[in-house]
Structure 1
Amino acid sequence: MVNLILFGPPGSGKGTQSKNIIDKYQLIHLSTGDLLRAEIEKQTPLGLEAKKFIDQGSLVPDEVVIGMIGSKLDANPDAKGFIFDGFPRTTAQAEALDKLLALKKTAISIVLSLEVPEDELIRRLLNRGLTSGRSDDANEDVIKARIVEYHNKTAPVADHYAKFGKFKRVKGDGTVESTFELLSKEIDELVSERV
C-alpha cells in the first residue's frame, strides 16, 4: 500500500497533480474537507459531532477528523493506497495520523512537496483569479499572506516526516507534464519496492 501526502502552497498545482496521481496509481483521494461534508450529509455520529463545531464557527477537533479518516480506511480494505489532501496540517495531526495508520498496519510512505518560487505562485493565482471567481485569488496581498501562512503551518509537518526520511521536495514550476514526471519518478520507486 502506498500512502502519500502531497504538499504545496496555494497555486503549486496540488489539485491537478493529485488527479494525475490518482488516475495513474489508482490511489483513493482522501480530502478531509470532502470527508467532513459527506459525514455531515449522511448524518453519521461523527458528522453530527463535526457539524456542532462548524455551526459554532469552531475548527473540528483532530480526533473527530482522525475518526473520519479511520472510517474511510476501513471502508476501503482493498485500496492500493491513499493520497491525503488537506491533512495533516500540524505536527499533532501528523502524529495522530501516524498512530491511526500504525493501528491499521500501514504508514505514510512519502510526503512530496511541490516547490514553486513565490513570484510564480503569485502569477498563477492572479491568473486563476481572473476566471475562478475566488476573491482570495484576485488580491496579491491576500495571496502573499496565504503563502506565508502555508509555510508557517506546514514547515513543522515537513520536519516531522523528514525525521523519518519520508519528505521529498519536487520541482513544481515546470509544465504540468514535467512536474508529473518528477512526482511519478518518486512514486514509482516506492511502488517497485513493494512489489
Structure 2
Amino acid sequence: MANKENEPTCSDCVRAVRCGDKRGLPVNSAEASRMAEYSDLSEVMFQLSKDHESMMRVLFGRSLRLKVAQTLWRRNTSEFVNYLIRIQDAGVLVDYLPVLTKDLQTEAPCLSLGCCVELMPQVKAILAAKYEEHIAVGLRWVQSVIERWWPELSEDEEKLRDGRSEDRNVEVMKQRLKDLWKEETRLCLVPGSTGELATAIGAYLSQLP
C-alpha cells in the first residue's frame, strides 16, 4: 500500500505549477494545464468577490444618501439643497434633478430661485460630465429654471436695483447662466435631442440683457 503521507496534494500541485516547481511531482502536461486554469479561475473569483463587496458598499451608501435626501425634500427645501451641496454626490443629484425639474413646472414650486442659484455650480459639473444622459438631465433642469423665471431674468438690470433678495437672486442667476453658457456652448454640437435642447437654451440665453 502506498504511503499516504508521501502523496502530493492538489494544493501542492497547484503551487508547483504556478511556481515552476519540477522537483519530481507526478504532474503531466495536461494535469499542469488544468491546475493552472484552476489557479487562474480561483484568482478571478477572488477578485470578483472583492469587486462585488466594493460595489455593494457603494450601492448601500448611495441608497442611504437618497433616503436622507428624500426625507429632507419632503421636510425642508433649503435643508435638502444644503445637503446636496454638502455631500457632493453627482449620482444623487442626477437622480433628483428630474424631480426638481418637475417641481419647477408646477404652479407653486417648492424650489425657490435662491435654491436654484445655490444648485447651479453642482449642475454645471453635471453638464461637464462625459455621460450624455446626465448632461440631458442637467439641461432639462436649466431649461426649467429659465422658463420659470424668464420674465424676471429678461428684465433690464436697471429695474432690479431696489435691493430685494429676490432681485439679487435674479441678478446672480442671470450671471451664472451667462458664465455657464460661455463654457458649455459645445453642447449645441452634440447630435440628437441633447444638442437640440442645448440649442434651445442658447437661444434663450442670447436674449438676456
TM > 0.5: no
TM-score normalised according to structure 1 size? 0.33
TM-score normalised according to structure 2 size? 0.31
Compare CA radii of gyration and give the structure with the larger one: 2
The structure that is helix-richer by fraction is: 2
